[in-house]
């Protein structure tokens, strides 16, 4: 994999930039995109640079942002608009390479090795991209130019906005190594703490540490990070249109009010399970593991999972299992803010299965038919056309169509 | 608490300023697959013929606030920009 040219292009404050393009009257003012005026889970998704300078950060609750910056203007997110711009950005990237790997809605890796003879070297292509994004889409990007994905990403974070940073073979020691280790992809809070205990503060420290020590303390991840820091990352940029195989299907939501008893949780879990099971069915999967995640109103969270006897995509089975898991693992020390359901260890729909003597195959088949019928009705008449009786216990909680919400989170790097 | 947060109204905000004007457009799909606007209909109903198209490229309009395919048109002897957004709406920058 010698001599690759990899770019990482990152749209600066993407949501906020798209909004500012469309609202010239707000330019130069502190602006934050985020929140849902109807529900209460209002957090900042993106802030522009003016707001960031006043201390508004992504992930802050709206009231905190207001405290940090009283003049901040809150814009409700318009996801469809951002998706359109993301799509247009990818069209521009596609003129330079078919090896384009999006990482979330606003970032992409591009392997432009083969374009170098036609379009110039990595820096020249990066310059052209930066210019075109500004002129054609009215937003700015920062681009990292390197020989691998990890350093390319580091480069795009190095200088913002509207900037280009090279992180090539001859310069990464000088530029990347003084950076804190936590700037590296996959060094989160807990890894950073572990590295800190080993006296490793910068990417350079990480690169020059003995690999065995890192492996001993961090396991496989230790070796991977060591390789990242030394520029040995040779993971390919995945071709355009390639989607990582789905490994799990899940859904979570912050409920319109805190959940205070099992009954509340049951409503939300069933609702989420409906969406998870339906997506499993749509994609021709069954899951063999069900997982629940719980976050209390102190934002403490945990997950529990269980292997099933049968692979399933029956709504009732997934919901029932999730609820049992929850009841076994939660003692109601605190009210709950959000819950999630996930099905993983997926197998295809026609997966062959050992039957057991004591469960009723007919009953299961009936349930599958019911699910199929419900899917059909909902496809024709909308999600709320058919509801479980349970959903009428608390209509405020149950009035969420979980499936329709956009998923924009990046796939994992290791795909 | 959230009730007092005060969200910006996209619609209202957009109307408050005037540079972006969506217009009706008459256009032709040519047999070689081009989309060519032939006239625009202003908000007062007057139809203006597009006498010539000098340039077509993708561009953002910072003044009007939007991006799309930008047609540099000659209308009544004057050059103006007509944008075709990817949501199939046409807009012009008001002078």
Q: How many C-alpha atoms does A174 have within 13 Å on its Cβ side?
A: 7
How many helices (DSSP H) and strands (DSSP E) are in chain B?
1, 7
Helix (H, G, I), strand (E, B) or coil at A203: helix
Domains of chain A by residue range: 1-176, 178-242, 248-404
**Which positions of A are annotated as active-site residues?**
107
What is the ipTM, given to two decimal places?
0.89
Q: Which residues pair with B26 in a beta bridge?
A: B39
Out of B7, B16, B60, the one facing A135 most closely (by C-beta) is B60
Out of A25, A74, A138, the one facing B62 most closely (by C-beta) is A138
The correct CATH number of A178-242 out of 1.20.120.1200, 1.10.150.20, 3.40.50.720, 3.40.30.10 is 1.10.150.20
Out of B2, B58, B63, the one facing A24 most closely (by C-beta) is B63
Dist CA B52 CA B38 (whole Å): 9
Dist CA A276 CA A290 (whole Å): 10
Q: Which residues of A touch B (CB under 8 A)?
A: 21-26, 35, 37, 40, 42, 62-63, 66, 73-76, 78, 84-85, 87-88, 134-139
Contact A74, A60 (CB under 8 A): no
pTM of structure: 0.70
The chain B residue lying nearest A23, using CA atoms, is B65
The secondary structure element, H or E, covering residue A259 is strand A248-259
Q: How many C-alpha atoms does A215 have within 13 Å on its Cβ side?
A: 7
Smallest CA–CA separation between B41 and chain A, in Å? 23
Query: In CATH, what number does A248-404 get?
Result: 3.30.1490.100
A1-176 and A178-242 share one CATH topology? no
Per-residue pLDDT of chain A (415 residues; tens, 9 = 90+): 458 999 999 999 999 999 999 999 999 999 999 877 565 557 898 999 999 999 999 888 888 898 999 999 999 888 889 988 998 999 999 999 989 988 888 999 999 999 988 888 999 999 999 999 999 999 999 999 999 999 999 999 999 999 999 999 999 999 999 999 999 988 888 889 999 999 999 999 999 999 999 999 998 889 999 999 999 999 999 875 545 556 788 888 888 888 999 999 999 999 899 989 988 887 778 898 999 999 988 878 888 999 988 888 899 999 999 999 999 999 888 999 989 999 988 877 666 666 666 677 788 888 888 888 888 888 888 878 888 888 888 877 777 655 444 344 444 455 4
Please tell us whether the domain made up of A1-176 is placed in CATH 3.30.70.270: yes
Q: Quick check: B5 and A138 CB within 8 A?
A: no
How many helices (DSSP H) and strands (DSSP E) are in chain A?
16, 12
Which pairs count as long-range contacts for A181-187, CB under 8 Å and 24+ apart, including other chains?
Answer: A181/A205, A181/A206, A181/A225, A181/A229, A183/A154, A183/A157, A184/A150, A184/A154, A184/A225, A184/A228, A184/A229, A185/A150, A185/A153, A185/A228, A185/A413, A186/A221, A186/A224, A186/A225, A186/A228, A186/A413, A187/A225
The secondary structure element, H or E, covering residue A129 is helix A122-132
């Amino acid at each position: 994999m010698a001599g690759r040219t990899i770019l990482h292009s990152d749209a600066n404050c993407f949501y906020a930039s798209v909004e500012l393009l469309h609202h010239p009257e707000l330019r130069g003012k502190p602006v934050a995109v985020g929140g849902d005026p109807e529900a209460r889970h209002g957090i900042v998704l993106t802030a522009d640079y003016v707001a960031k300078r006043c201390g508004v950060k992504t992930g802050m609750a709206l009231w905190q942002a207001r405290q940090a910056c009283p003049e901040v203007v809150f814009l409700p997110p318009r996801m469809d608009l951002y998706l359109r711009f993301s799509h247009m950005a990818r069209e521009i990237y596609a003129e330079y390479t078919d090896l384009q790997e999006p990482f979330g809605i606003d970032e992409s890796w591009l392997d432009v090795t083969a374009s170098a003879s036609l379009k110039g070297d990595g820096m020249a292509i990066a310059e052209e991209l930066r210019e075109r994004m500004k002129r054609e889409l009215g937003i700015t990007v920062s681009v990292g130019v390197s020989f691998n994905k990890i350093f390319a990403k580091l480069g795009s974070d190095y200088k913002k906005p509207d900037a280009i940073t090279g992180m090539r073979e001859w310069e990464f020691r000088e530029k990347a190594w003084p950076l804190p280790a936590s700037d590296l992809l996959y060094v989160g809070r807990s890894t950073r703490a572990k590295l800190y205990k080993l006296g490793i503060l910068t990417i350079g420290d990480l690169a020059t540490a003995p690999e065995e020590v890192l492996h001993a303390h961090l396991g496989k991840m230790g070796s991977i990070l060591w390789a990242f820091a030394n520029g040995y990352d040779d993971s390919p940029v995945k071709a355009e249109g390639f989607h990582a195989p789905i490994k799990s299907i899940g859904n979570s939501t912050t409920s319109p009010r805190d959940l205070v008893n099992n009954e509340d949780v049951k409503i939300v879990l069933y609702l989420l399970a409906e969406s998870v099971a339906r997506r499993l069915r749509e994609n021709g999967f069954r899951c063999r593991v069900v997982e629940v995640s719980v976050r209390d109103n102190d934002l403490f969270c945990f997950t529990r999972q269980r292997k099933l006897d049968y692979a399933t995509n029956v709504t009732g089975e997934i919901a029932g299992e999730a609820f049992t898991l929850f009841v076994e693992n939660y003692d109601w020390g605190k009210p709950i803010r959000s819950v999630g359901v996930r099905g993983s260890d997926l197998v295809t729909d026609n997966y062959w299965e050992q039957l057991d003597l004591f469960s009723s195959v007919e009953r299961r088949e009936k349930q599958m038919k019911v699910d199929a019928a419900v899917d059909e009705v909902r496809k024709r008449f909308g999600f709320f056309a058919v509801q479980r009786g349970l959903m009428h216990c608390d209509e405020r909680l149950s009035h969420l169509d979980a499936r329709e919400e956009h998923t924009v989170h990046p796939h994992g790097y290791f795909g | 608490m959230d009730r007092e947060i005060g969200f910006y109204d996209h619609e209202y905000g957009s109307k408050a300023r005037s540079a972006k004007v969506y217009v009706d457009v008459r256009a032709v799909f040519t047999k070689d697959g081009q989309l060519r606007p032939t006239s625009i209909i202003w908000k007062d109903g007057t139809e203006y013929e597009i006498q010539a198209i000098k340039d077509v490229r993708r561009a953002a309009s910072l003044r009007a606030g939007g991006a799309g395919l930008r047609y540099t048109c000659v209308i009544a002897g004057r050059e103006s920009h007509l944008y075709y957004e990817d949501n199939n709406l046409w807009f012009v920058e008001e002078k």
